[in-house]
Amino acid sequence: MSAPQSASMPDVLKTAETWCQGGRSVALATVIETWGSAPRPVGSHLVIDSEGNFEGSVSGGCVEGAVVSEAIDVIESGKPTTLEFGVADETAWRVGLSCGGRIRVFVEPVT
In this structure, how many other beta carbons lie within 10 angstroms of the beta carbon of residue 58?
A: 26
- The SS3 call for residue 42 is coil
- In tens digits, the chain (111 residues) has pLDDT values of 333 444 445 589 999 999 999 999 999 999 999 987 778 899 999 999 999 999 999 987 778 999 999 999 999 999 999 999 876 655 556 655 556 678 999 999 998
Element (H, E) at 65: helix 61-77
CA distance 88 to 93: 10
In this structure, how many other beta carbons lie within 10 angstroms of the beta carbon of residue 110?
A: 18
| pTM of the predicted model as reported, rounded to 2 decimal places | 0.81
DSSP secondary-structure letter at 3?
P
Every domain of the chain and the residues it spans: 8-110
